[in-house]
Structure 1
Amino acid sequence: MHIVIDRLWDDRPAAPAERITLDLRARDGALEIAVDAPFHGDPPPPSPPGSTPGLWNFEVVELFLHAPGDRYLELEFGPHGHSLALQFHGVRTLVATVQIDFRADPPASGRWTGEARVPSGLLPRDLARWNAHAIHGQGDARRYLSALPAGGTRPDFHRPDVTAALDPALSRDLERMA
């Protein structure tokens, strides 16, 4: 499944240089995610790469995976190798922080790439929907992008009502792993 993030949170077009892609596939008992994103030069979190609380305060690409009953997994990826995986049951009702495998290649030529592996046991059962977002910049220059913009008066990415169905082939592959 191929996802493109090329809109701002309020549905205005993002600059072409801000375009991000995520490629998802089920393989060997896990969801694999490939990230290709521009590097905006924001400073990294003040911690070593790996699971990083509050990663959304830094340059980040986010993927939300939703299941019925407001169960969802928020996955966050940063250009310096930081990640965060949060399980929710109810909007913003955190159940657990879980560990995933993520590595990012050092930014080169103004872009960065990363690869994540999420074991199928961490995915919400009956996974059906998705949305993806990105954040970069600091202060008044902070920018919020969405694949499926929600609009509103401010960015809000915890919106199970603003999602799209997973690609049927990916859904089938994920069901086989459950």
Structure 2
Amino acid sequence: MHLVIDRTWDGRPAAPVERTTLELRARPGALELTIDAPFHRDPPPPSPPGSTPGLWNFEVVELFLHAPGDRYLELEFGPHGHSLALQLHGVRNLVATVAVEFVADALAGGRWRGRATVPADLLPPGLARCNAHAIHGQGDARRYLSALPAGGLRPDFHRPDVSEPLDPDLVRQLSLGT
């Protein structure tokens, strides 16, 4: 499945240089995610690469995976190798912080690439929908981008009502563990 982040959170076209793509693939027992994103040269978090609380405050690409009953998995990845994976039940109601494998590389040519592996047992039961976002910049220059813009008075990515169906073959393969 191919997702493109090319709009601002409120629906305006993003600059072409801000375009971010995500590829989702089923692998045996896992969801594989590949990111291709612009590198905006924001400062990295003040911690070593790996699971990083508050990663949304830095340059980041996010994927929200939704299931019925307001269960969802929020995945966040940064260009310096930082990540964050949160299981939620109810909007912003954290159930657990979980570990996923993530590697970022190719900080060259103004772009970065990342690869993540999410074990299938971390995905919410009944996985059905998704949305993707990218955040970069600081202060008044902060930019909030979305594949499916939510609109509203301010950026809010915790919106299960603003999501698109996942590819049925991807969901079937993940549920079969193939």
TM-score of the aligned structures, taking structure 1 as reference length: 0.99
2:117 equivalent to 1:117: yes
Deviations 1:97-123 (A, max 9, x none): 000000000410000000000000100
Distance 1:77 1:106 in 2: 14
Structure 1 unaligned blocks of 5 or more: none
Please state how far the C-alpha of 1:172 moved relative to its aligned partner.
1.2
Distance 1:147 1:174 in 2: 22
Aligned residue type for 1:156: D
| Alpha carbons 1:120, 1:177 under 8 Å: kept | yes
- Alignment partner, residue 174 of structure 2: 174
Q: Percent identity?
A: 78
2:156 equivalent to 1:156: yes
Distance 1:126 1:176 in 2: 12
Deviations 1:103-145 (A, max 9, x none): 0004100000000000001000110000000000000000000
- Alignment partner, residue 28 of structure 2: 28
Distance 2:41 2:89 in 1: 34
| Alpha carbons 1:72, 1:124 under 8 Å: kept | yes
2:40 equivalent to 1:49: no
Distance 1:171 1:54 in 2: 29
Distance 2:113 2:93 in 1: 30
- Alignment partner, residue 104 of structure 1: 104
Distance 2:94 2:141 in 1: 29
- Alignment partner, residue 71 of structure 2: 71
- Alignment partner, residue 5 of structure 2: 5
- List structure 1 segments (4+ residues) > 3 angstroms apart after TM superposition: none
TM-score of the aligned structures, taking structure 2 as reference length: 0.99
Structure 2 unaligned blocks of 5 or more: none
Please state how far the C-alpha of 1:71 moved relative to its aligned partner.
0.1
Distance 2:107 2:33 in 1: 18
Aligned residue type for 2:22: L
| Alpha carbons 1:80, 1:106 under 8 Å: kept | no
